[in-house]
Structure 1
Amino acid sequence: MSSVSELAAHLQTSTKTVHDMINKGIITKQERGKYDIDLARKEYILHVREIAAGRAKVGDLDLQEERARLAKEQADAKEMENAVERGDLVYIENVAKQFELQLTKVRTKLLAVPTKVAPEAHIAATVKEVQSLIEAEIVEALNELVGYDKEAASEET
């Protein structure tokens, strides 16, 4: 049977480290001066092996937990990449850019309606004809929003 200081000398560490290992349960706590050096050495070696294998928690870092977190992040990234390739997932910046382009085209067409319709409206015989001309031009402009063309959009970006 040995004391903590003799155990520390045998394990080639400090008495504080041995006390820390006892408090953490790495080495089984015994009565004062009653430590079995062989048992304590085996417990210490098993603990060091667990650390080396990445199965033991060292401080705040749990290597297995960190590896699992990394693997999950990598799997999530690959899943997102595949979803983008399939067209199931899009980047919001691209959607916003396409929507902005569509709205710009519609705005341009709507602003051009008076210039385009004025000569035809001037020679129209009735108010109904003028109304028809204006409605046709507005519908054409609004069809820019409804008639989203995927191929044209990919060429523009």
Structure 2
Amino acid sequence: MIDLDVKLRQAEFAALVGISQPAVSGLVARGIILSGMTGRQMLLAYCGHLRETAAGRASESEFDLVAERARLAKEQADRIALQNEVTRRELAPVHLIEQVLSQAGARVSGILEAIPGMLKRRLPTLSATDVELITREVAKARNIAAAVTLDDLGIEAPDEEEPA
């Protein structure tokens, strides 16, 4: 019978818990078991390590379950935050925004195109040259509005990287 209240050699502890002596050496190297511990302390530290590993709070492999769970939790929180923004109508799909802006642009374009004719009817003293000048200026404004991009508005386009 092994006395757990005395210091055990690595080989003795390995035989007690059913692992190899190099595995115990690895536990010592990682600080899970400290040299100078009694057999009881080694057993408690080893069992605590096994519990942490089984619970996913500690990892021995390249696949770090703790980090992966944290990453998954962050992604889920981000998804829920986006859903909340959509629910509160703070966020809308790009295609919907494009559709709304296109309809608004068409309505504004119709109003702008009517300005020269309306001015000619209300102000009969305007010459044809004056009406042509107004028509050109309205066309410029309409073309500028039609060519607006997200860059012009100071908004980053989705799925595009900033230029270096």
SS in structure 2 of the partner of residue 58 of structure 1: coil
Q: Which structure carries more relative contact order (alpha carbon 8 Å, separation 6+)?
A: 1
Question: Within 2, Cα distance between the matches of 1:2 and 1:68?
Answer: 38
Question: Within 2, Cα distance between the matches of 1:46 and 1:90?
Answer: 49
1:127 is the counterpart of 2:127: yes
1:5 is the counterpart of 2:7: no
Residue by residue over 1:88-131, the C-alpha shift from the partner in whole angstroms, topping out at 9 and shown as x without a partner, is 1122233234445655x47x969x99xxx7xxxxxx99735982
1:29 is the counterpart of 2:31: no
- Kindly tell me the number of residue pairs found equivalent between the two proteins: 125
Question: Which structure has the larger Rg?
Answer: 1
In structure 2, do the counterparts of structure 1 residues 125 and 21 end up closer, same or farther at CA, with 3 Å as the change threshold?
closer
Question: Within 1, Cα distance between the matches of 2:68 and 2:35?
Answer: 31
RMSD: 4.0
Question: Within 2, Cα distance between the matches of 1:126 and 1:2?
Answer: 108
Q: Show the 5 A alignment for 1:80-95.
A: 80-95=82-97
What's the TM-score, normalizing by structure 2? 0.54
Higher-helix-fraction structure: 1
What's the TM-score, normalizing by structure 1? 0.56
1:39 is the counterpart of 2:41: yes
In structure 2, do the counterparts of structure 1 residues 57 and 128 end up closer, same or farther at CA, with 3 Å as the change threshold?
same
SS in structure 1 of the partner of residue 79 of structure 2: helix
Question: Within 1, Cα distance between the matches of 2:67 and 2:110?
Answer: 58
- Identity, % of aligned positions: 29
Residue 26 of structure 1 and its aligned partner are, at CA, apart by 0.9
